[in-house]
Amino acid sequence: MTKMYQRTYILGALLFCFGCSRSNFAGLNTNPDAVLSIDPKTELTPAEVDIHVNDFEVFYDFVRDIKPWTQTYVLPTGNTSTFLTGASTSNINYRWGNFYGGVGDNLTDVLHIIDNMSPDLRAQYQQFRAIVSIPRIYYAFYTSDANGSIPYNQAFLARYTKPAYFTPVYDPQQQLFDTLDAQLARAVAVLEANPAVTQISPAANDLYYGGDIAHWIKAANSLRLKIAMRLMKQDPARLTAIANAVLADPVGLIAANTDDWILYSTTVGTGGNSNPGLQSGARNTVNFMWATTDPRLRIFYQPAGITSADMLDSAEAQGVIPNSVTWDGQLYRGQYASPTASQDPSKGYMFHQLTFSYKGIPTQVYWPSIINQGLTYCVYNGSGGTNMFPVITYADVCFMRAELSVRGLDNDNVRADSLYYRGIRASLMDYDHWGAITLLPGYTPLQYAEITNYLAQPGVVYNASTALEQICDQQYLNFFVQPNECWALIKRTGFPAVGGQVMPFEDVSASGKMPRRYPALQPSLGDLNYTNETNAIDSMALDPNYGAPSDMTGRVWWDKP
């Protein structure tokens, strides 16, 4: 079943941001006149691209760290004993530099350009201004999510102040989330109002929605819900109030796959560091997907190295696999996430490349399945593919609503089981579409019968006694290409869980604890913003859950035990 997405794929220019010092909030140019004369449309496009373009973030933050931490990726040779503790703090947290050295600068410039127009012209750009504020809010939230307190209200002022303001105060995360929610609510109000004058649209310069007002309202409401979900443990009453507000909004939330907030591009994400390389999936996850006939299995992974009884017999006859191994018919396999598994002699063949002759042909394969590298790096599939960068999807919204309903934290008039099934269908359809547009080798279109069959499988059929776990496990699978959201889901809900009843996580506690935030590095005395940064770290450290500033197993404010 192929799916037609009624959206034009706008191809953004490939721009690079190599990060910046935590103390550099001004950008390279502090002359406001050089910016205020620019057409705001031309500033919007590179800012949206910058949200997704940094392939150093893909390599260091996602592939090297977050995906292994969350058991999304496992090396085919197994995890090292230090995979939870061996991250280098010198090459991590690229989102900070992205925000203060690209995304935030450019989007703030657009706001200032509009605010400095003549009153008559400014009135024509009010919807444009509201649209621009939404990705700016998203990236501030994304930056804070794993850092805690960040400069926001006083950030990006150097270009517009005399003398240039280089010492912004940090906004505590709790206050920042309130600020971001209020700004999103105001943006929605502007977009839903009947404008007094004809509005100028960003049109094709908006790479997400082409300036479509209704889509941006849905995206803003869905982002309000996304941020509010982080309040589940700290302020559930506030979460409920925000959830009910966006559910009651006349335009509402993202409500179909065609509403998905996604950047599509043939150029963004083609940097060499975006290639995830040779990775496998986690054994427990792949086994669950195989047992439940999950159609996403063939999109996520390649078939395992040994694909038939005859091939297994050849490998055994040549001594590369023990004779005690029997063919079970499983075509996709994951790797053990726990490094201790490789110490078991009976499992040794699972952790190295198998070299043997099969039907007279020299063969080198791994026992576990290898991920489809081209799903997130279409260059791997050859020329012509399109990369996708989801921010919030319909599936995501359905699972959030289903979770809230099960927890009794909203007044949703749609039942939790219906939302759960809608979320699964939407996720299957998204990945089917993404497999097609990335030109994934061997892509096979999704069939309606596969969806029906999958929804009827044990562990997938909605069960009130395990509903919360099922919803979160399906959201985890849905976040396969969204590592930060996958990480946040585990921190926020505890699912997938070791000892879970549906899709249990493997126990890797012998290797340490999963990191839960980025390290806060103490500034040097020469940093311009030394006082404010030190005060922010000291303030966060007052929370005993935060831990030592450099301790990545500590917790930011929303991540309450």
pLDDT of 7 above 50: no
User: What are 300-331's pLDDT values in tens digits?
Assistant: 999 999 999 999 999 999 999 999 999 999 99
User: What are 524-557's pLDDT values in tens digits?
Assistant: 999 999 999 999 999 999 999 999 999 999 999 9
Residue 440 is predicted with a pLDDT of: 97
Residue 28 is predicted with a pLDDT of: 35
pLDDT (average), residues 278-295: 98
Strands 354-358 and 150-151: unpaired
pLDDT of 392 above 80: yes
Strands 170-171 and 150-151: antiparallel
Alpha-carbon distance of 15 to 48, in angstroms, equals: 10
pLDDT of 203 above 80: yes
Return all residues near 352 (Cβ < 8 A) that are at least 6 apart: 77
User: What are 447-474's pLDDT values in tens digits?
Assistant: 999 999 999 999 999 999 999 999 999 9
Cβ-contact 184, 222 below 8 angstroms: no
Please tell me whether residues 99 and 140 are part of one structural domain.
yes
pLDDT of 295 above 70: yes
Q: What is the DSSP string of 509-544?
A: GGG-----S---PPPPTT-TTHHHHHHHHHHHHTST
Residue 19 lies in a domain: no
Residue 521 is predicted with a pLDDT of: 87
pLDDT of 437 above 70: yes
Residue 64 is predicted with a pLDDT of: 95
378 half-sphere exposure, CB direction, 13 A CA radius = 20
Tokens representing residue 473 in the block: 């496990």
pLDDT (average), residues 46-74: 97
**Positive or negative: CA dihedral 144, 51, 274, 254:** positive
Residue 227 lies in a domain: yes
Residue 29 is predicted with a pLDDT of: 41
Residue 12 lies in a domain: no
Residue 245 is predicted with a pLDDT of: 98
Residue 265 is predicted with a pLDDT of: 97
Q: How confident is the model at residue 8 (pLDDT cuts 50, 70, 90)?
A: very low
Residue 34 is predicted with a pLDDT of: 55
pLDDT of 19 above 70: no
Please tell me whether residues 236 and 351 are part of one structural domain.
no
Q: Cα 174–209–423 angle (5° rounding)? A: 65
Strands 170-171 and 361-365: unpaired
Cα 291 to chain centroid distance, Å, stands at 26
Residue 131 lies in a domain: yes
Residue 86 is predicted with a pLDDT of: 79
Cα 139 to chain centroid distance, Å, stands at 12
Q: Which residue has the higher pLDDT, 495 or 36?
A: 495
Phi and psi of 523, rounded to 5°? -70, 160
User: What are 220-272's pLDDT values in tens digits?
Assistant: 999 999 999 999 999 999 999 999 999 999 999 999 999 999 999 999 999 99
User: What are 145-185's pLDDT values in tens digits?
Assistant: 999 999 999 999 998 898 999 999 999 999 999 999 999 99
pLDDT of 10 above 60: no
pLDDT of 5 above 60: no
DSSP 8-state symbol, 63: I
Please tell me whether residues 216 and 186 are part of one structural domain.
yes
Please tell me whether residues 191 and 335 are part of one structural domain.
no
Q: Is 102 helix (H, G, I), strand (E, B) or coil?
A: helix
- Please tell me the pTM assigned to this model: 0.94
Q: How confident is the model at residue 90 (pLDDT cuts 50, 70, 90)?
A: confident
Please tell me whether residues 418 and 505 are part of one structural domain.
yes
**Positive or negative: CA dihedral 427, 433, 435, 441:** positive
Nearest residue to 300 via CA among 125, 150, 489, 440: 440
> Across the chain, what does the average pLDDT equal?
93
Residue 244 lies in a domain: yes
Q: What is the Cα Rg of the chain in Å?
A: 24
Residue 32 is predicted with a pLDDT of: 55
Q: Is 307 helix (H, G, I), strand (E, B) or coil?
A: coil
Placement of tokens 């913003």 in the chain: 529
Alpha-carbon distance of 99 to 251, in angstroms, equals: 30
Q: Which of 484, 511, 538 delimits the end of a domain?
A: 511
Nearest residue to 112 via CA among 21, 191, 44, 180: 44
Please tell me whether residues 352 and 395 are part of one structural domain.
no
The enclosing domain of 474 has a CATH number of: 1.25.40.390
Residue 517 lies in a domain: no
Alpha-carbon distance of 552 to 517, in angstroms, equals: 5
Number of structural domains (the chain) is 2
Residue 36 is predicted with a pLDDT of: 60
Q: What share of the chain is helix, strand, coil (3-state, %, to 5)?
A: 50, 5, 45
Residue 383 is predicted with a pLDDT of: 78
Please tell me whether residues 354 and 502 are part of one structural domain.
no
Please tell me whether residues 355 and 494 are part of one structural domain.
no
User: What are 501-512's pLDDT values in tens digits?
Assistant: 999 999 999 999
Return all residues near 100 (Cβ < 8 A) that are at least 6 apart: 20, 22, 24, 25, 151, 155, 156
Q: How confident is the model at residue 35 (pLDDT cuts 50, 70, 90)?
A: low
Residue 33 is predicted with a pLDDT of: 55
Please tell me whether residues 349 and 399 are part of one structural domain.
no
pLDDT (average), residues 22-26: 39
Please tell me whether residues 245 and 116 are part of one structural domain.
yes
Please tell me whether residues 139 and 39 are part of one structural domain.
yes
Residue 560 lies in a domain: no
Alpha-carbon distance of 165 to 63, in angstroms, equals: 36
Residue 556 lies in a domain: no
Q: What is the DSSP string of 249-277?
A: SSS-S--SGGG-EEEEESSTT-SGGG---
Q: Which of 333, 352, 368 delimits the end of a domain?
A: 368
Please tell me whether residues 114 and 193 are part of one structural domain.
yes
Q: Which of 336, 351, 368 delimits the end of a domain?
A: 368
* pLDDT over 70, % of the chain: 93
**Which residue range is the domain that position 319 belongs to?**
303-368
